[in-house]
Homo-oligomer: A and B are copies of this chain.
Amino acid sequence: MYGIAILGFGVVGSGVAEVLEKNADRIALGAARELSLKYIVDIKDFPDSPYKHLLTRDFGAVERDPDVRVVVETIGGAGLAYEYTRRALEAGKSVVTSNKELVALHGCELLKLAKERGVNYLFEASVGGGIPILRPITQCLAANRIYEIYGILNGTTNYILTSMIKEGASFEAALKLAQDKGYAEADPSSDIDGIDACRKICILADLCFGRHMNPEWLKTVGIRTVTAADTVYAGRGGCKIKLLGRAVANGDGRVSAYVAPHLVPSENLLAGVDGVMNAIVVRGNAIGDVMFYGAGAGKLPTASAVVADIIDAAKHERSRKLISWEEGSPSMLRDSAELVSRWYARVAADEKTVLAAFPGAVALGGDGGETAFIAPGDSKAGIDGALSSFRVLSLFRVMD
C-alpha cells in the first residue's frame, strides 16, 4: 500500500482529498501505482465530512505507520508544521507542502534532512498556487543560467489593484470588496504588505540562484500607498500598477531581491494579468524570457500542484529529486536601491517645474497642484536626490 496522510484539513487539505478522489484513475496512471488516502490529521472534528473515518488528532499514528509513504503538510505557518515536517522526514516519509512560510524560512534545512533520509521534500504549490513553476525551473530550464525572475506572486493584491484600475475604486474600497468576496482575509496584512509575495520570491531565488534567501533580508513594500489617482496616471502612460516580487543576479554572485509596486508597460504580458491570477517571468541566457500564468491560489488549483508532487514522490521513491540550495547570508544581497530603472513619481508641483527639473521626463498630467510623470532611468539614490526639493506623494519603479 502506498499511503498518504494529510495534515490540516482546511481549504488546501480538503482540496487535495477531493482531487485524489476525483482524478484517481489519471493519478494512478501518472504514479504508476494506486495511492491510498489513509489519514487526515486535524484538531477539529468534521462530523459531516465524507472523510470523517480518516480523521484523527494523533500525528503519532501517522508517524509510526509504515504504510504512509507521503505526508501532505497543509497546516501552514512555521510552528506545528515545522515540527511535523521534521518528524515525518525523520520517519523516512516524503513530505509535500503548499506552505510558503515554512519553505521560505526552513527549506534549506528541511531539504538537507530529506536528503539524509533518502526521501523527498516537494513544494510546487508554495509558489504560484497551481502554476507549474518550480519544476520547470529546476528541470526544463536546467540548461540555462537564470539571471532574473520576477512576477505577480499574490492574487489578493492583484485583485485589489485590478479593482482600483478597472472600477476606479480607492484602496480601502477595493480591499473591502476583496474581503467580501473571500479573496482577502480579515487581517489582510500578510498579503497587502507584500509579506506573502516576499516569501515566494525568496523560494524562487533559492532555486534559481542556489543559496538561501531569508525573507527578512528583503526590502518589502506592499500596496497600501497606491492610490486610485496613481492607477489613472499610470494608465495614461500605457502602464498598469502591479505588485511584483523580483530577484536579479548581479553577475558577481550577489542578488538584488525585493517586493514593491511597479508600473508595468502594456507591452509586457504581465500588464494583462488581472484579478486573482498570478504570472511569473523567468529570464535565462539560452531561453530568453518565458512566462508561466495561472491561478495563484484557490482550493483545486493549489491541490492540483500538491497532488502532482505526491505523484512525483511516488514515482521517485528510490531516486531522489535533485532540489536543494546552500545556506545563504545577508552579504549575498546587493541593495536593490542600486538597480537602475525608470521611475513613476507624483509630486506636489506644477508640470513646468517638474519638466524643468527632470529633462526627458514624460508628464502624465495632474490636478490640484500635483503632477505625475515618468522619470528616465536612475538608481533609487539618484531619483531620491533629484526629487529632494519636491514633496513626493508617490514613487514607484517602472518594470522595463
Q: Which residues of A line the B interface, CB within 8 A?
A: 19, 22-23, 26-27, 30-32, 124, 130-132, 135-136, 138-145, 266, 269, 271-273, 279, 284-295, 298, 300-301, 303-305, 307-308, 310-312, 315-316, 319, 322
Contact = CB atoms under 8 A, between A and B. Distances in A.
Nearest to A294: B290
Contact of A269 (B130, B266, B293, B295): B293
26 contacts: A19-B143, A22-B286, A23-B143, A23-B144, A23-B145, A27-B142, A30-B139, A30-B143, A32-B322, A124-B140, A130-B288, A130-B290, A132-B132, A132-B290, A136-B136, A140-B305, A141-B308, A143-B311, A266-B272, A269-B273, A271-B272, A285-B300, A286-B304, A287-B294, A288-B295, A291-B293
Contacts of A289: 294-295
Contact of A143 (B27, B271, B290, B316): B27
Contacts of A310: 143
Most buried by B among A132, A269, A305: A132
A295 B284 CA distance: 12
B286 A19 contact: yes
A312 B292 CA distance: 21
A101 B137 CA distance: 27
Contacts of A293: 269, 290-293
A19 B284 CA distance: 12
Contacts of A144: 23, 26, 304
A304 B287 contact: yes
A66 to B, nearest CB: 23
Nearest to A26: B145
A290 B273 CA distance: 12
Contacts of A301: 286-288
A168 B271 CA distance: 24
Nearest to A146: B26
A310 to B, nearest CB: 8
Contacts of A271: 272
A26 B207 CA distance: 13
9 closest pairs, A vs B, by CB? A132-B140, A143-B307, A290-B294, A30-B142, A286-B304, A291-B293, A132-B136, A130-B287, A287-B304
A353 B400 CA distance: 48
Nearest to A292: B292
Given A269-B273, A285-B23, A322-B315, A140 B291 contact: no
Given A139-B135, A311-B143, A284 B304 contact: yes
